[in-house]
C-alpha cells in the first residue's frame, strides 16, 4: 500500500519536476557551460576558453559600476519599500484611518498593476527637462535652481530611476504588510493600551516583532528585485549617460544581444545568479534559525 502510494505521489510530481527541469535547471546547467565558452548567436562553433571570461569579468570596470548601482538600488529599496512600506501599512491599519483605508490602499496599490513599460514612459515625461512635470513643479514653487536634466545627468540619473521603482513597488509591499498586521491578535494591542503604551510604542513593540516573518519575505523580494532590475534603466536611459546607470542585467543583455558576445554574457549571468543565490540563502538561513528559537 505504502509503495503504491509513493508511486502515485511520484506520478503527480513528475510533470512539475519535468517542466522545472526542462525550463529552469537545464538552462541553468547549460549557462554554466556557456560561461566557459566564447560564441555569438550566429556562430556555429562554441570555442572553449576556460576561465578567460571570468578573468575578463574581474578586470571589467563596467561590472563594478553595475554592482555599485545594484547595491544602491537594494539599499534604497530596503529603506523605502520595506521600512517606509511598513510604516505606511501601520498607519493605514490605524483606527484613525479606518474610514479611508480601503480607498487609500487601492490608491497605493494601483501603480503595481500598471505595466512597467507604461510607467517608465510616463516617467520619461515627468523627468523631461523642458516640459516635464517635475521641473515645471519646481519652477512653479520657485525652486528653479533645483530643476535638473534628471535622466541626462550622471549624478541624478540613477537616483531618478530608483525613484520610479520605489513609487511603483511600495504599494505592493505595503499590501503584504497590511495582511500581516491584520493577522496580529487584537488583544495584544488592547493589553498594551491598558498598560499605557502610545501608538509609537505599540508600533515598535507589537507591530514590528509580529510582522517579522513578512519582513523577511519583503526583504528578499526587494533585494533580489534590486539585483535583477532591468526594465527601468533599459527604457529610461539604456544605461546612459555613458555607463552611469548600467546595472548587471542590462549589461548582460547588452553584452549578449548587442555586442553579440554570448559567452561573456553567460558569465555575467552566473555572477548575477551567485549574488542573488547567496543573498537569498543568507536570508533563508537567518529566517530558519529565527523560527526554531520561537
Partner 1 sequence: MKSKKVMGLTIAAIMIASLAACGGSSDSGKGVEDSIDDDKIVINFFHRWPNDPKNSMFNELIEKYMDENPNVTIKMDCILNDQYKEKIRMVVSTDEVPDIFSSWSGTFAEEMIQSGNVAELNDMYESDTEWSSQISQASIDGFTFDDKIYGVPWSQDGKVFFYNKEIFEENALEIPTTWTEFIDVLDKLQDAGYETPVVEGLSDSWAILHYLGTMNQRMIDPDTLAEDYNADTGEFTDPGYVEVLEKWQQLTEYMGDVCSAIDHETARNTYFATGEAPIMYLQFAEIPLLEESLPDGFEYGFFNFPAFEEGKGDINALTGAPEGFMISNKTKYPEECQKFLKWLVSKQGGEALTTQCGDLSSVEGAVDETNGLPAQIEAMDIIKSASQLSPWLDNACDASVYTVYGQGAQAIATGDETPGNVMKQVQEAAASLH
The binding site for partner 1 (CB under 8 A) comprises 8, 11-12, 15, 40-44, 56, 127-130, 149-154, 237-244, 254, 257-261
> Smallest gap, in angstroms, from Cβ of residue 248 to partner 1?
16
User: Per-residue DSSP letters for 187-247?
Assistant: HHHHHHHHTT--HHHHIIIIIHHHTHHHHHHHHHHHHHHHHS--HHHHHHTTT-STTTT--
Chain-centroid distance, C-alpha 127: 22
Q: If DSSP codes are grouped into helix, strand and coil, which group holds residue 47?
A: strand
Q: Which is nearer to partner 1, 209 or 242 (CB)?
A: 242
> Smallest gap, in angstroms, from Cβ of residue 5 to partner 1?
10
Are 80 and 170 in contact by the 8 Å Cβ rule? The answer is yes
> Smallest gap, in angstroms, from Cβ of residue 255 to partner 1?
8
Q: Which is nearer to partner 1, 128 or 228 (CB)?
A: 128
> Smallest gap, in angstroms, from Cβ of residue 177 to partner 1?
35
DSSP state of 145: G
Of 20, 23, 27, nearest in space to 262 by CA:
27
Distance CA 10, CA 15 (A): 9
Q: Which is nearer to partner 1, 21 or 242 (CB)?
A: 242
Q: Which is nearer to partner 1, 11 or 141 (CB)?
A: 11
Q: Which is nearer to partner 1, 151 or 223 (CB)?
A: 151
> Smallest gap, in angstroms, from Cβ of residue 61 to partner 1?
8
Count other C-beta atoms under 10 Å from residue 224's C-beta: 17
Q: Which is nearer to partner 1, 180 or 236 (CB)?
A: 236
Residue position matching grid coordinates 494601483: 110
Distance CA 105, CA 87 (A): 13
> Smallest gap, in angstroms, from Cβ of residue 89 to partner 1?
35
| Residues across the chain | 294
Amino acid at each position: 500500500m505504502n509503495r503504491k502510494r509513493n508511486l502515485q505521489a511520484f506520478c503527480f510530481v513528475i510533470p512539475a519536476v519535468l517542466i522545472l527541469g526542462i525550463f529552469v535547471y537545464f538552462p541553468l546547467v547549460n549557462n554554466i557551460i556557456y560561461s566557459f565558452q566564447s560564441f555569438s548567436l550566429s556562430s556555429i562553433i562554441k570555442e572553449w576558453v576556460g576561465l578567460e571570461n571570468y578573468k575578463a569579468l574581474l578586470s571589467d570596470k563596467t561590472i563594478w559600476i553595475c554592482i555599485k548601482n545594484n547595491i544602491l538600488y537594494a539599499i534604497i529599496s530596503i529603506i523605502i519599500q520595506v521600512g517606509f512600506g511598513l510604516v505606511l501599512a501601520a498607519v493605514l491599519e490605524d483606527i484613525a484611518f479606518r474610514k479611508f483605508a480601503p480607498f487609500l490602499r487601492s490608491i497605493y496599490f494601483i501603480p503595481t498593476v500598471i505595466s512597467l513599460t507604461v510607467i517608465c514612459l510616463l516617467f520619461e515625461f515627468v523627468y523631461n527637462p523642458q516640459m516635464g512635470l517635475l521641473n515645471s513643479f519646481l519652477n512653479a514653487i520657485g525652486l528653479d535652481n533645483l530643476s535638473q536634466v534628471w535622466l541626462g545627468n550622471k549624478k541624478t540619473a540613477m537616483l531618478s530611476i530608483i525613484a520610479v521603482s520605489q513609487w511603483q513597488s511600495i504599494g505592493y509591499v505595503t499590501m503584504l504588510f497590511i495582511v500581516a498586521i491584520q493577522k496580529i491578535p487584537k488583544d495584544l494591542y488592547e493589553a498594551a493600551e491598558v498598560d499605557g503604551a502610545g501608538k509609537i510604542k505599540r508600533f515598535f513593540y507589537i507591530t514590528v516583532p509580529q510582522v517579522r516573518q513578512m519582513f523577511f519575505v519583503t526583504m528578499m523580494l526587494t533585494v533580489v528585485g534590486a539585483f535583477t532590475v532591468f526594465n527601468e534603466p533599459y527604457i529610461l536611459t539604456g544605461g546612459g549617460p555613458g555607463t552611469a546607470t548600467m546595472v548587471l542585467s542590462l549589461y548582460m543583455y547588452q553584452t549578449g544581444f548587442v555586442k553579440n558576445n554570448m559567452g561573456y554574457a553567460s558569465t555575467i549571468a552566473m555572477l548575477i545568479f551567485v549574488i542573488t543565490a547567496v543573498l537569498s540563502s543568507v536570508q533563508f538561513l537567518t529566517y530558519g534559525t529565527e523560527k526554531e528559537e520561537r
